[in-house]
Amino acid sequence: MTRTLGVSLKMYFGYDQTLRWSRTVADLLGNHPALVAGDVRLFLLPSFPALPAVAGILRGTPITAGAQNLAAADSGAWTGEVSGVFLREAGARYVEVGHAERRTHFGETEEVVADKTAAALRAGLTPVLCLGERDRMPVAQAVTECRRQLIDALQTSRRFGLGGSLILAYEPFWAIGAAQPASDEHITGVCTALRDTVAQESAHPDSSVIYGGSAGPGLATRLGGGVDGLFLGRFAHDPEALVKVVEETAARA
């Protein structure tokens, strides 16, 4: 089974730093056997302005680029927005949808997340659909909440008969930016339930469930087959740490 690793740079890096980091990652991992063989897939999500350049840096490697957000519309009078169609032309193959920060700071509702998920699928992008509970709660309650979010996020896609692979990124709000990720038992419990749920979605075959929220080196080894991969943030700012996570993930593939 292919394992999936994603990295979102959020807004931590400037333009030049983003390109330098991407070149280093390409140099270190562009010929990694697990990536070349397809045992592990790796995607990077830079800020919008750097996307075409990063896609160019990654060209010829098994590493792919994506975006951290997209508009719900495909075109039109939406000042400051970027459509999925535009992102696809610019070199994106993945796009993050519904991150906790978008929901909290920009007021993205379940309806907006559903419309953006559909927009990504229309554009031929793989949505990296972020799901997670706001507050700490038992696994069973977290599963119920994340399943609800998943069902809500697919409503628009179902209405228009849109299909395609999904990456479900389980990121409990309370674990993002924390010193430690959620407990191993909590992560595997929720991710296993989400994997079973998305497997029942015939319109979205070959989908996977990855964990984010203070994910870093060592976690892939501890979780084993409990997740399909990791969604990394600040712990991947050091390219050597990212190499370590790739090695750990490859060992579990």
Tens-digit pLDDT profile for residues 14-25: 999 999 999 999
67 close to 45: Cβ distance less than 8 angstroms: yes
Q: Are 57 and 19 in contact (CB under 8 A)?
A: yes
**124-152 pLDDT, tens digit each:** 999 999 999 999 999 999 999 999 999 99
CATH superfamily of 3-252: Aldolase class I (3.20.20.70)
DSSP 38: T
| Confidence class for position 11, pLDDT limits 50, 70, 90 | very high
Q: How far apart are CA 104 and CA 45, in angstroms?
A: 20
pTM, to two decimals: 0.97
Q: Rounded CA gap, 88 and 95, in Å?
A: 10
Per-residue model confidence (pLDDT) at position 179: 86
> What is the Cα–Cα distance from 246 to 206, expressed in whole angstroms?
21
pLDDT of residue 253: 82
What tokens were used for 143?
């599963």
Closest CA to 154 of 209, 197, 186, 95: 197
Residues recognised as catalytic: 99, 171
pLDDT over threshold 90, residue 1: no
3-class secondary-structure state, position 91: coil
Domain boundaries, the chain: 3-252
Query: What pLDDT shows up at residue 226?
Result: 93
